[in-house]
Amino acid sequence: MAQMRNEEEILGAATRQLNEKPTASMAEIAEAIGISRATLHRHYASREALLRVLGERATARWEQSQDAAGIDAAAASGDPARLTAALRALLAAYVTDADEYGFALTEHFLTDLPDLVSWGERLEEREIAFYAACQAAGVLRDDLPARWVSNAVYGFMIAVRESLRRGDVARRDIENLLITTFLSGAGARPGGTSAPGGTS
């Protein structure tokens, strides 16, 4: 068995294995990485210790995606064009995030780690403020609670993960599918922002 010792290689391979099989044991993860179980345990004493590090990496990636999309500056500007560009950039980044760190979306162990929960809550509030700014600028429907919009995006990320994992949708198509499907439901409507049959 080839022995991989680079930490980034180990964490990257572990993430890919958990994306494919979220319930994978340490033995299965070690086999997928290409190292012995004993070697993996020398790096991480338990599955929980490994998941903590991977959860931190996934949460850091979430924050990096928000930063790269420029959601704070776009929200502060109130400019519809900037907000639209930032929204599209954020959703596009989330496609990659769901593909590369999808296991973290539904890993229940991570919800029991107070530091990660607190970090995630801060990022969620930041994102909700951005969606609210999009609503105020007429980029998104303003008849939807901003938290509902945030939850909908989270749901779409799970859909992206599962569609890619099962091969239901080609990787080259899924970014456009996510953006167009999301905007067809949450995007502002011509002449008003209410849903069909609702009130403006």
Backbone angles phi, psi at 140, to 5 degrees: -120, 155
Q: Would you state the torsion angle of the CA atoms of residues 166, 167, 169, 174, taken in this order, to the nearest 10 degrees?
A: 80
Residue 29 and residue 40 in contact, taking contact as beta carbons nearer than 8 Å: yes
Residue 193 and residue 143 in contact, taking contact as beta carbons nearer than 8 Å: yes
Q: How far apart are CA 33 and CA 16, in angstroms?
A: 9
The DSSP letter of residue 189 is B
**Residue 4 confidence (pLDDT):** 47
Write the pLDDT tens digit of every residue in 157-196: 999 999 998 999 999 999 999 999 999 988 887 765 444 3
Write the pLDDT tens digit of every residue in 118-167: 999 999 999 999 999 999 999 999 999 999 999 999 999 999 999 998 99
**Residue 25 confidence (pLDDT):** 94
Give, rounded to a whole angstrom, the gap between the first and last alpha carbons of the chain. 64
Write the pLDDT tens digit of every residue in 9-19: 899 999 999 99
pTM of the full structure: 0.86
Domains defined along the chain, listed by start: 1-45 (1.10.10), 55-186 (1.10.357)
Write the pLDDT tens digit of every residue in 89-104: 999 999 999 999 999 9
